Structure 1
Amino acid sequence: MATTATTEPRKIPPATGPHLTEHSISVSAAPDDVYRLVADVAGWPQVFGPTVHVEVLQEADPLAGGEQLLRIWAVANEQVRTWTSRRVLDPAARVITFRQVVSAAPVAAMGGTWLIEPVEDGTTRVVLLHDYRAVDDDPQAQALIERAVDRNSLAELTALKNAAERGEDAAGLQFTFSDSVTVAGAAGDVYAFLDRAELWPERLPHVARLDLTEEESGIQHIDMDTRSSDGSIHNTTSVRVCFEDRKEIVYKQLKVPVAMRAHTGRWTIEPLDEGTLTVTSWHTVVLDHEGVRTALGPQATLAEARNLVRKVLGTNSSTTLRYAQQFAEEAHGRT
């Protein structure tokens, strides 16, 4: 457990369990910029490797702070865990406290604090505190939680440092785009096509192989080989969270090409007119500057990389959308 003395008192909420950890890192960026990255949970899947998806159930004022209610999906010990947390944002002090409202076993209770502190040499020190308790105080569960907290805390702090130190350059690295089709069919049929990805090798020409394992609560792990236009095969692994009630699927690619730092996406199905739907594939990509040069050559520009990524991902998504459209419209014609 890393510890460092500070000159100011910390605003730390009471612990809910006997196990305490502290992790910290030095960041060469302004404290306010670091704070904004921690406060902006919508951007966490693009910044933090373990975070798959975040939904804001109750929003706080970004300037005044206050309480925020979140549901988070994240990878811990190679499994996807989901929980509901309440955060209290204090922008003036650059402190964010969090407490799980609904935890996932083997966690009985967990909370902690983000502290973003200016340092005299112009850097920023970020401290991440956790307190936790295992279900039934089981020692094996406690050890499992400790490993997950340690691994994820180090990964999150390193990712936060990298994102903050990229600074304004990050604006050119991250971009979002989408492709849509109009479907004259039922939302349930479109959703079934997108949800049952294990059938994609039979249904989609660009999917050569796909292994799918599914946890409870609509969480899917996908290992997929896709075939590009030149015949080469590319492997990707992803985690998907499927919301059948609202006909939506979100995902995070865990294994990304060398030119990318992060890739997340979303499939949405929305009513358009009576009997028709708009089905959209969304992508958010964060490029890796050095990775772009490695993949495309030292003279490659970010604009060239964005255009290439847009073309490759958009082509595959558009193909999937067309086949989903055909599947749903044929099913509609048979009813």
Structure 2
Amino acid sequence: MSAERVHATTHEVNVAAPAGVVYGLISDAVQWPLFFPPNVHVERLEFDGASERLRMWATANGQVKSWTSRRVLDPARRRIEFRQELPASPVQSMGGTWIVEPLDANRSKLTLLHDFTVAGDAADDVAWVERATDTNSRAELDNLSRLAERWSQLDDLVLSFEDSVRVNGPAELVYDFLYRVADWPQLVPHVSRLELTEDQPGVQVMAMDTVTADGSTHTTESVRVCFPHAGRIVYKQTATPLLMAAHTGEWSVVPDETGVTVTSQHSVVLRPENIESVLGPDADVQTARRYVREALGRNSGATLALAKKHAESAVRVL
């Protein structure tokens, strides 16, 4: 019987923010796709106040990986221990600890520990996991540090909103329209180009050119995770326009006894350093909030209207 070697890594950063702020950001894993660049989507499966079970999707070395983790939260000590229950290949086991230590009232130290094994301890696989762990950990700590240091502004920099439409048609046709995103350049006027790969069923990686109201074109890249039985498609933009540091969203299709409610939800973190260059010298955070709300709402509203038309105009043979 082989005994795989346990590999360990340590990453740390000093943050110009109170320890409680830093702990609050790492404890809310459902929000990680908005705060951490590698994370695409997190579903909380169980939570009893002290421990939680999570299903997570994230990018690793350019690939989308998914796993299930158990986390134990200790807010008094500002520690979170985690252990993957169902790791993604080539990982055989993975766990670790988040540790937040106050340096003074307004500064803290954040340490992220990992330990992992790889089946057979193959050198190439170990190197792949080490590279992914290092790249993702650095990206997570760097972005969390920037967010935490703006903690007094976070309420203004983060915005979430949704738009809904009622559809008198089959939920399956609505979902099909939203799922078949590769066809959007022919169906959705503001989408001029879209490249799609779906190497794993229901996990779509796409690059899209969107025409804005002023006629300019924005190129974005996204990962979408599709849940057909639940009528949901969640996504994370991995390359965003200049005004947005992060953008996540969800399409949901909910049938009831009188029809279908289709909702487009967006969550955004603004990039304040780019506001003036994009919107002009008189623009501020509130200007950017209004601009992003209107721009994203306009595009998603148009897509909702097209999904509604697609479902309601379908020919039915009785």
Q: Flag structure 1 segments of 5+ consecutive residues without an equivalent.
A: 1-15
Query: 1:9-59, CA deviations, whole angstroms, 9 ceiling, x for partnerless residues?
Result: xxxxxxx95100001000111111111111011211111000111010111
SS of aligned partner of 1:176: strand
Which AA in structure 2 matches 1:272?
D
Q: Report the Cα distance in structure 2 between the residues aligned to 1:245 and 1:89, rounded to whole angstroms.
A: 31
Q: Report the Cα distance in structure 1 between the residues aligned to 2:32 and 2:315, rounded to whole angstroms.
A: 39
Q: Report the Cα distance in structure 2 between the residues aligned to 1:35 and 1:23, rounded to whole angstroms.
A: 16
Q: Report the Cα distance in structure 2 between the residues aligned to 1:334 and 1:26, rounded to whole angstroms.
A: 65
1:135 maps to which residue? 119
Q: Report the Cα distance in structure 2 between the residues aligned to 1:207 and 1:327, rounded to whole angstroms.
A: 17
Q: Report the Cα distance in structure 2 between the residues aligned to 1:324 and 1:57, rounded to whole angstroms.
A: 30
Q: Report the Cα distance in structure 1 between the residues aligned to 2:305 and 2:141, rounded to whole angstroms.
A: 41
Which AA in structure 1 matches 2:43?
E
Aligned pair in 2 of structure 1 residues 217, 84: CA closer, same or farther (>3 Å)? farther
Q: Flag structure 2 segments of 5+ consecutive residues without an equivalent.
A: none
Q: Report the Cα distance in structure 1 between the residues aligned to 2:284 and 2:256, rounded to whole angstroms.
A: 38
1:34 maps to which residue? 22
Which of 7, 19, 31 is the equivalent residue of 2:7? 19
Aligned pair in 2 of structure 1 residues 229, 122: CA closer, same or farther (>3 Å)? closer
Task: Confirm or deny that 1:118 pairs with 2:106.
Answer: no
Query: 1:220-255, CA deviations, whole angstroms, 9 ceiling, x for partnerless residues?
Result: 011111122332222111110000110100001111
Query: 1:80-135, CA deviations, whole angstroms, 9 ceiling, x for partnerless residues?
Result: 11000000111111110000000110111100000111125852111100001112
Which AA in structure 2 matches 1:44?
W
Task: Confirm or deny that 1:68 pairs with 2:52.
Answer: yes
**CA displacement at 1:332 relative to structure 2:** 5.8
Which of 276, 299, 308 is the equivalent residue of 1:293? 276
2:74 maps to which residue? 90
- Identical columns (%): 47
Q: Report the Cα distance in structure 2 between the residues aligned to 1:172 and 1:202, rounded to whole angstroms.
A: 37
Aligned pair in 2 of structure 1 residues 198, 122: CA closer, same or farther (>3 Å)? closer
Query: 1:56-85, CA deviations, whole angstroms, 9 ceiling, x for partnerless residues?
Result: 011142xxxx21100110110011110000
Q: Contact between 1:259 and 1:294, CA under 8 Å: does it hold in 2? A: no
Q: Report the Cα distance in structure 2 between the residues aligned to 1:205 and 1:334, rounded to whole angstroms.
A: 29
1:308 maps to which residue? 291
**Which consecutive aligned stretches of 4+ in structure 1 deviate over 6 angstroms post-superposition?**
none
* TM value normalised by structure 1: 0.91
Q: Report the Cα distance in structure 2 between the residues aligned to 1:44 and 1:228, rounded to whole angstroms.
A: 28
Q: How many residues align?
A: 315
Task: Confirm or deny that 1:317 pairs with 2:305.
Answer: no
Alignment of 1:225-240 (within 5 A): 225-240=209-224
Q: Report the Cα distance in structure 1 between the residues aligned to 2:285 and 2:151, rounded to whole angstroms.
A: 16
Aligned pair in 2 of structure 1 residues 143, 305: CA closer, same or farther (>3 Å)? same
2:155 maps to which residue? 171
Q: Contact between 1:260 and 1:292, CA under 8 Å: does it hold in 2? A: no
Q: Report the Cα distance in structure 2 between the residues aligned to 1:121 and 1:305, rounded to whole angstroms.
A: 31
Q: Contact between 1:185 and 1:332, CA under 8 Å: does it hold in 2? A: no
Q: Contact between 1:223 and 1:236, CA under 8 Å: does it hold in 2? A: yes
Which AA in structure 2 matches 1:109?
S
Is the strand fraction higher in 1 or 2?
Answer: 2
Q: Contact between 1:17 and 1:110, CA under 8 Å: does it hold in 2? A: no
**CA displacement at 1:292 relative to structure 2:** 1.1
Task: Confirm or deny that 1:203 pairs with 2:203.
Answer: no
SS of aligned partner of 2:223: strand
**CA displacement at 1:217 relative to structure 2:** 3.7
Q: Contact between 1:20 and 1:130, CA under 8 Å: does it hold in 2? A: yes
SS of aligned partner of 1:119: strand
Q: Report the Cα distance in structure 2 between the residues aligned to 1:298 and 1:87, rounded to whole angstroms.
A: 45
Which of 246, 252, 265 is the equivalent residue of 1:262? 246
Coordinate RMSD, CA, aligned? 1.4
